[in-house]
Amino acid sequence: MLLGIETGGTKVVCATATSPLDLIEVHTIATTTAEETLGAITDVIADQVRRGPVDAVGIGAFGPLDLDPSSPSFGTIGATPKPGWQGTRLLDAVRAATDAPTALDTDVAAAALAEQRWGAGAGLSNVAYVTVGTGIGVGALVDGRLLHGTSHPEIGHLTVRRHPGDTAAGVCRLHGDCLEGLASGPAIAARWGRPTDDLGGLRDLAVSMESHYLAQLVATLAYLLSPARIVLGGGVMALPGLLGAVSDDTARLVAGALGGDHPLQHPASGYLRAPDLGGHAGVIGALTLAADLLDQPTRAVTGPS
């Protein structure tokens, strides 16, 4: 039995499965305090352990995360904007509930893996996945492997050109008006005084401004990583018309710099895609991390490949 855990800014999804796409049970837990949320996660694990063996666990977690297996704080949440979560030893809590081999990565990396393996990027070895929600994150696969360096990508803190009509201060507690500070879900709510699903007559202007920022992110990914496809997910991307606006704005912004035949210059090419796995991409990715562990039995606990 596989167990996948996706911890997000507003909810945690725990799923048991026989394979990444064959989910048996799915439990949704509200993300509240670290103590309360970890208690609920370990309760789910304990219930599954009572019913039968867990062969492997995969975790896709909001970050930033310490993903260095040689670090004494491996598996610990870093300088997150989630109040009370910084310093939470997430991996240790899961390991205390089961002795099954456990893989850990960011939630957006897990979603990227799922979409590359089973969804909108299937058949492609170079794929980037963007999530735009409570925060903004990117996971990427290069030559079929999740991209990591000294840490994981934190492109939400990218410096961007402001929209000429945007006077909002920005909500990032570290930088104010970085990409995440100007284009995340909380940034939209702060700018317009209402959440993304209740913009009313402000929606067209909000979409235009949001697209201005996300086009800069997409162009940066195309310049830097040259992915074969970029998948755009997260709650903010549910705004009607936003995906198309980003496609159009990115084509104008790049302005032929990658060559006229590059699919990014052709908004109808499908180079920018919505996730095929929808809201399940993260937990399916976590299950995929778990399944991959079974092919590498010597790696009892793993960080990035």
Task: Give residue 248's domain range.
Answer: 120-274
Same domain? 43 vs 185: no
The model carries a pTM of 0.92
Q: What is the pLDDT of residue 296?
A: 63
Same domain? 205 vs 264: yes
* Domain contains 145: yes
Integer-rounded Cα Rg, in Å, for the chain is 19
* Domain contains 175: yes
pLDDT tens-digit profile of 253-268?
A: 999 999 999 999 999 9
Same domain? 125 vs 42: no
Same domain? 96 vs 38: yes
Contact (CB, 8 A) for 97 and 46: yes
Same domain? 135 vs 215: yes
* Domain contains 111: no
Same domain? 177 vs 137: yes
* Domain contains 93: yes
Same domain? 125 vs 243: yes
Q: How far apart are CA 3 and CA 56, in angstroms?
A: 6
* Domain contains 27: yes
Contact (CB, 8 A) for 118 and 133: no
pLDDT per position in the chain (305 positions), as tens?
Answer: 999 999 988 899 999 999 999 999 999 999 999 999 999 999 999 999 999 999 999 999 998 899 998 999 999 999 887 889 999 999 999 999 999 999 999 999 999 999 999 999 999 999 999 999 988 999 999 999 999 876 788 889 999 999 999 999 999 988 999 999 999 999 999 999 999 999 999 999 999 999 999 999 999 999 999 999 999 999 999 999 999 999 999 999 999 999 999 999 999 999 999 999 988 999 999 999 999 999 864 433 444 43
* Domain contains 115: no
Number of domains in the chain: 2
Same domain? 19 vs 58: yes
Same domain? 199 vs 142: yes
Same domain? 291 vs 269: no
Enumerate residues 6+ apart whose C-beta is below 8 A from 162: 177, 182
Q: What is the CATH number of the domain that holds 250?
A: 3.30.420.40
The tokens for 104 are 């850990």
* Domain contains 140: yes
Same domain? 234 vs 249: yes
* Domain contains 112: no
Same domain? 139 vs 80: no
Amino acid (1-letter code) at residue 176: G
